[in-house]
């Protein structure tokens, strides 16, 4: 049931706009509060009166029609749990991808910080246009959920891919997000390989692309969670991004985010060592055939987080899960954080992963084989084994990192 859920449906100017009337009814039958915003051209295909009667709310069209002195694009964004844009035209998709806000719908999307589902519908040749595909890829990378159109006979007389996907698919995707247990939580996720300076022009690092950590952050965000991504790679996303460089910087940032977190997922490849005395100036080449660098261990961030969690559990203020507050001054203490580590191995994957799991003390450990080119560094695919605290193991066969991320989130939310 979707009782109490607030859904915003954005309708663009395409022939499939008439189908959205039934989608509104589907959500209303399940108790959701539905609001509708249309582009001006959408009203050429469906009337404002019809949409108002079905949704039992006023329909937004004009950007500066402001009731109660509230900017509409901000109030719509603030008062909604999820936004669905269907049918999404090539024009509106391109505007959103470029950050153009020239009508109420595009202005709302720009201000929207919650899950957005985009269901495109257009002529098959428009769908295949490289510019449209590039814009869709851009939106997907920013955390928008794209429900690809279906193939069939199109209103323009062509036959091909471009029909709006089924209403059931749109409904199921939105309902899954709105009713998921994995929703409304605070996720802190790390990504990328840390960089340890040798001098101003050289450094020690690794081949990590950050794709797995970013995929996890994207999926957590799509499920309606508060996400903070701590990353060493440049990335543009609608959720909070904190850019760091070294292991020390990552440790400091993760520690500062620890208190508010429900889930901490350490997917970054943190350098084990750093240069003990990095040079403030470029190290010049000499006549010697060798150069010696003295390395020192970096802090074990994952182990430190697990120890901090245990210390909180053993503190006098700690509470059991069934209690609400500690005895001391009624202070609420969070003791149910889930800490997830990653283990990248090139040999003896499970044996090394189990040993690391025992040493770190985390709740879950994700083991992946970096020796395989089809799932290793920089690949868009992965295959992992999830080790749980009770000793159980779940293997996720090779799939896209997005699919792997989705399954990991399901397991750690069981």
Pairing mode, if any, of strands 159-163 and 6-11? unpaired
User: Annotated catalytic, 101?
Assistant: no
Q: Is the peptide bond preceding residue 139 cis, with omega within 30 degrees of 0? A: no
CA distances from 346 to 82, 278, 359 (A): 41, 29, 19
Among residues 74, 63, 76, 75, which one has the least CA distance to residue 102? Answer: 63
Dist. CA 190–CA 212, nearest whole Å: 10
User: What would the two tokens of residue 304 be?
Assistant: 């430190």
Q: Would you say 409 and 389 are in contact if contact means Cβ atoms under 8 Å apart?
A: no
Among residues 404, 367, 405, which one has the least CA distance to residue 388? Answer: 367
273: three-class secondary structure by DSSP = strand
Q: Give the Cβ contact number of residue 113 at 10 Å.
A: 13
Q: Give the Cβ contact number of residue 3 at 10 Å.
A: 8
Burial class (CB in 10 A: 0-12, 13-18, 19+), 30: middle
Dist. CA 39–CA 106, nearest whole Å: 9
User: What would the two tokens of residue 211 be?
Assistant: 């794709």
Dist. CA 411–CA 413, nearest whole Å: 5
Q: Would you say 49 and 39 are in contact if contact means Cβ atoms under 8 Å apart?
A: no
3-state helix, strand, coil in the chain (%, to 5): 35, 25, 40
Q: Would you say 404 and 382 are in contact if contact means Cβ atoms under 8 Å apart?
A: yes
Q: How many CA atoms lie within 13 A of 278 on its CB side?
A: 16
Pairing mode, if any, of strands 393-400 and 381-388? antiparallel
Among residues 6, 5, 414, 406, which one has the least CA distance to residue 220? Answer: 406
> Radius of gyration of the chain from Cα atoms?
25
Catalytic residue among 21, 101, 124, 156: 156
285: three-class secondary structure by DSSP = coil
Q: Which residues of 251-286 are buried (b: 16+ CB within 10 A; e: fewer)?
A: bebbeebbeebbbbbbbbbbbeebbeebeeeeeeee
Active site residues: 156
């Amino acid at each position: 049931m979707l009782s109490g859920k607030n859904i915003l449906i954005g309708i663009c100017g395409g022939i499939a706009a008439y189908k959205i009337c039934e989608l509104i009814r589907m959500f209303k039958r399940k108790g959701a509060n539905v609001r509708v915003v249309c582009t001006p051209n959408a009203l050429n295909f469906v009337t404002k009166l019809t949409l108002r009667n079905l949704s039992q709310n006023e329909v937004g069209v004009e950007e500066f029609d402001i009731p109660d002195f509230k900017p509409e694009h901000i109030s719509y964004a603030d008062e909604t749990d999820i936004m669905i844009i269907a049918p999404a035209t090539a024009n509106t998709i391109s505007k959103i991808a470029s950050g153009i806000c020239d009508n109420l719908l595009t202005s709302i999307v720009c201000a929207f910080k919650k899950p957005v589902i985009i269901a495109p519908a257009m002529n098959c040749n428009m769908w295949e246009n490289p510019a449209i595909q590039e814009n869709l890829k851009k939106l997907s990378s920013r955390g928008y959920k794209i429900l690809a159109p279906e193939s069939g006979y199109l209103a323009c007389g062509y036959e091909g891919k471009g029909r709006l996907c089924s209403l059931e698919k749109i409904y199921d995707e939105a309902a899954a997000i709105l009713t998921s247990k994995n929703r409304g939580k605070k996720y802190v996720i790390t990504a990328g390989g840390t960089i340890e300076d040798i001098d101003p022009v050289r450094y020690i690092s690794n081949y990590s692309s950050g794709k797995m950590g970013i995929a996890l952050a994207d999926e957590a965000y799509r499920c309606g969670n508060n996400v903070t991504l701590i990353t060493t790679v440049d990335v543009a996303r609608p959720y909070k991004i904190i850019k760091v460089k070294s292991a020390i910087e990552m440790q400091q940032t993760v520690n500062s985010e620890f208190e508010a977190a429900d889930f901490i997922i350490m997917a970054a490849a943190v350098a084990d060592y750093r240069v003990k005395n990095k040079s403030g100036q470029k190290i010049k080449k000499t006549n010697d055939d060798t150069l010696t660098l003295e390395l020192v261990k970096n802090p074990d961030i994952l182990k430190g987080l697990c120890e901090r969690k245990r210390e909180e559990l053993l503190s006098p203020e700690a509470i059991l899960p069934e209690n609400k507050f500690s005895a001391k001054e009624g202070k609420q203490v969070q003791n149910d954080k889930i800490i997830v580590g990653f283990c990248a191995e090139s040999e003896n994957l499970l044996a090394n992963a189990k040993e690391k799991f025992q040493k770190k003390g985390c709740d879950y450990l994700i083991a992946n084989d970096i020796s395989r080119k089809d799932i290793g560094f920089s690949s868009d695919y992965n295959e992992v084994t999830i080790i749980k605290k009770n000793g159980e193991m779940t293997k996720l066969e090779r799939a896209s990192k997005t699919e792997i991320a989705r399954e990991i989130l399901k397991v750690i939310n069981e």
